[in-house]
């Protein structure tokens, strides 16, 4: 069976040994990680029935990323990221086992959950930043956009499968089994990490300063970059006011839709389906040209999806809007990552990606607490509508800079008016080609009709039909006279 051309970039990345081993080991762990995440959120809701407490649990999981990410990025730049990833997984395994034990023994309470979530939050920076550093080293630079997008597609496929499994497990048995599942998934991931063979012997070559000077250098690079700086700022706004939607879903599932843990699983899975398709589309696209405009437009569509999700009271319509929300969020995050990874100075990669990770994983802690508190006073739906409106002006400001952002990240212009004109010309060209094609197809038929008409006329002349008609006409006139 012939492989469609659009699928080739996504499949080609799996021919690289290290990428296949790394991602193959990580994929099961991503599914079980999402099972544990849903288990943690539902446990926080079940223990307190408070959006504020759910927001606090989310915050202690995310907040360490804000503080630690710059230091971890500078540290990872001088270390072997595979070894860093192994240590992070060992610690995650211990935390998952402790959480499961506390649940099964009936000792779990909100304070233990907060403490363990904080511990896991301190591990996340080492996990996420080393992962972002490893993936680009497993494939040639030419296929890096497809590799990153495939990575994101697998992550978001796990967002679909993991929550669906978690919702079923929680409703049918016990939330503790979500933590047991994650412990098993981590073992698969460790097997893949031990199998990869990547050389990181040059990790200390980027500079001779301390961690603080490295952090300052990375921040200065991002701030002065005409493309990375504006996109990171827009991501930060979205992370504060829009990203917490997926973290406060337990309140939507239980209070707004009255669907319980299974409803939570469906809502999260819907977001995962949309995200998976968006990441797959980027992976098949396989290049960065045009991604800047796509990222900026996806941000606005994401705002629309947030308002629509918040406005509905019907679960299955919310699942549909959630899919659009997840797809546009992934298009924003994966597209931004592909643009940054393809254009960043290699000596600064870990430090820049640590800031990306801090924004994506850490900054939502701020919004989770604020929106969670606001939701307990005015309701989840109205809280997110207000939060969404706060993002409109930052988006308009960034969209006005789209040309300079595109030139710095893609190396070519992306003028919106020119794009529309080009599309119009292309459509007009297609219409003209279709008319020419129709004319060429009609020409033989017209020739046949003309030949047949001529043949009929010749036969009529041969049979002297015209003379006979004239004779009949004259005879009719004589009869009238008579």
Does 326 lie in the same domain as 239? yes
**pLDDT more than 70, % of the chain:** 81
pLDDT for 382-417, tens place per residue?
999 999 999 999 999 999 999 999 999 987 544 545
Total of domains in the chain: 2
Tell me whether residue 286 is in a domain: yes
Tell me whether residue 420 is in a domain: no
Does 250 lie in the same domain as 118? yes
3-state secondary structure (DSSP) of residue 287? coil
Does 453 lie in the same domain as 329? no
Does 362 lie in the same domain as 470? no
pLDDT for 416-435, tens place per residue?
454 444 434 434 444 444 45
- Residue 467 vs residue 25, higher pLDDT: 25
Specify the pLDDT at position 468: 58
Does 228 lie in the same domain as 109? yes
pLDDT band at 6 (very low <50, low <70, confident <90, very high): low
Full domain range(s) for residue 253: 5-199+206-414
**Three-state SS annotation for 299-362:** HHHHHHHHHHHHHCCCHHHHHHHHHHHHHHHHHHHHHHHHHHHHHCCHHHHHHHHHHHHHHHHH
Tell me whether residue 422 is in a domain: no
* C-alpha–C-alpha distance, residues 444 and 153, integer Å: 51
The DSSP secondary-structure symbol of 135 reads G
pLDDT for 202-254, tens place per residue?
555 444 556 678 778 888 999 999 999 999 999 999 999 999 998 899 899 98
Does 348 lie in the same domain as 403? yes
Does 407 lie in the same domain as 365? yes
Tell me whether residue 421 is in a domain: no
Question: Which domain CATH number covers 242?
Answer: 1.20.1250.20
Tell me whether residue 419 is in a domain: no
Q: What is the mean pLDDT of the chain?
A: 83
Check pLDDT > 90 for residue 90: yes
Does 79 lie in the same domain as 137? yes
Specify the pLDDT at position 422: 41
């Amino acid at each position: 069976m012939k492989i469609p051309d659009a699928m080739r970039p996504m499949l080609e990345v799996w021919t690289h040994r290290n990428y296949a081993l790394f991602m193959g080991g990580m994929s099961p762990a991503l599914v079980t990680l999402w099972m544990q995440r849903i288990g943690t959120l539902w446990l926080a809701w079940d223990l307190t029935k408070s959006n504020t407490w759910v927001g606090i649990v989310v915050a202690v999981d995310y907040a360490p990323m804000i503080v630690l990410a710059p230091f971890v990025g500078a540290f990872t730049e001088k270390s072997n990221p595979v070894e860093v990833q192994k240590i992070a997984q060992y610690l995650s395994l211990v935390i998952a086992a402790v959480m499961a034990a506390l649940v099964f023994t009936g000792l779990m309470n909100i304070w233990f959950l907060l403490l363990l979530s904080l511990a896991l939050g301190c591990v996340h920076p080492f996990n996420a930043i080393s992962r972002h550093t490893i993936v680009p080293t497993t494939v040639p630079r030419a296929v890096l956009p497809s590799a990153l997008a495939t990575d994101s597609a697998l992550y978001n496929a796990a967002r679909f499968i993991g929550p669906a499994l978690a919702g079923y497990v929680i409703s049918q048995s016990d939330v503790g089994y979500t933590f047991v599942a994650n412990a098993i998934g981590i073992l698969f991931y460790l097997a893949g990490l031990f199998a990869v063979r990547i050389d990181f012997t040059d990790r200390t070559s980027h500079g001779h300063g301390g961690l603080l000077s490295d952090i300052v250098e990375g921040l200065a690079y991002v701030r002065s970059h005409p493309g990375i700086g504006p996109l990171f700022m827009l991501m930060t706004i979205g992370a504060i006011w829009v990203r917490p939607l997926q973290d406060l879903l337990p309140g939507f599932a239980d209070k707004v839709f009255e669907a319980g843990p299974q409803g939570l699983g469906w809502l999260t899975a819907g977001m995962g389906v949309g995200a998976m398709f968006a990441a797959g589309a980027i992976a098949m696209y396989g290049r960065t040209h045009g991604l800047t405009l796509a990222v900026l437009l996806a941000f606005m569509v994401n705002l629309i999806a947030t308002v629509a999700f918040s406005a509905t009271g019907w679960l299955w319509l919310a699942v549909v809007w959630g899919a659009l929300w997840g797809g546009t969020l992934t298009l924003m995050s994966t597209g931004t990552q592909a643009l940054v990874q393809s254009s960043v100075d290699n000596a600064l990669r870990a430090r820049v990606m640590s800031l990306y990770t801090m924004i994506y994983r850490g900054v939502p802690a701020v919004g989770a607490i604020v929106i969670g508190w606001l939701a307990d006073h005015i309701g989840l739906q109205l809280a997110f509508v207000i939060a969404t409106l706060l993002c409109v002006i930052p988006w308009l400001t960034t969209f006005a800079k789209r040309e300079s952002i595109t030139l710095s990240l893609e190396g070519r212009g992306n003028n919106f008016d020119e794009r529309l004109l080009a599309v119009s010309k292309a459509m007009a060209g297609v219409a003209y080609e279709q008319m020419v094609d129709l004319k060429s197809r009609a020409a033989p038929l017209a020739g046949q009709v003309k030949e047949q008409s001529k043949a009929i006329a010749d036969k009529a002349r041969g049979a002297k039909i015209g003379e006979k008609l004239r004779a009949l006409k004259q005879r009719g006139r004589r009869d009238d006279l008579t």
